[in-house]
Structure 1
Amino acid sequence: MMTINNPVIPCVTSLPGGCLQVGSLIIIHGQPTFNSNRFSINLVHQGNMHCIFHFDARFDQGQVVRNTNFPSSTWGQEERSTLLFARNKPFFMEIRCLQDRFMVAIDGNHYCEYSHRVSYSQANTLQITGDVQVSMIEFKSTNTYPTFPSGNRLNVTNPPIPFASLINGPLAVGNEIQVHGQVKPYPNRFQINLQQGCQTYPSPTIAFHFNPRYEGGNRVIVMNSLLGGQWGSEQRIATGRHLAPGTTFVLSIKRQAYNFAILVNGTRIANYAHRIGADIIDSVSIDGDVIVNKVVAI
Structure 2
Amino acid sequence: MSYVPAPGYQPFYNPPLPHATPIPGGLRPGMAIYVQGTVPHHTKRFRVNFSCGSEKGADIALHFNPRFDSGDKIVFNSFQHGKWAREEYKHEMPFRRGQHFEMVFSITPESYQIMVNGAPCYEFRHRIPPERVQVVDVDGDLELQSLNVMGGGVSDWGGMYYQQPGMHGMPPNMPPPAASLPMMAGPASFHPQVPYVANFPGGLTSKKTVVVKGFVPQGAKSFSINFKMGYSRDIALHINPRLNERVVVRNSLLNGQWGAEERALPHNPFQPGQYFDLSIRCGNGRFKVFANGQPLFDYNHRFREFQQIDTLEINGDVVLSYVQF
Question: What's the TM-score once normalised by structure 1's chain length?
Answer: 0.49
Bigger CA radius of gyration: 1
The structure with more strand, counted as a fraction of residues: 1
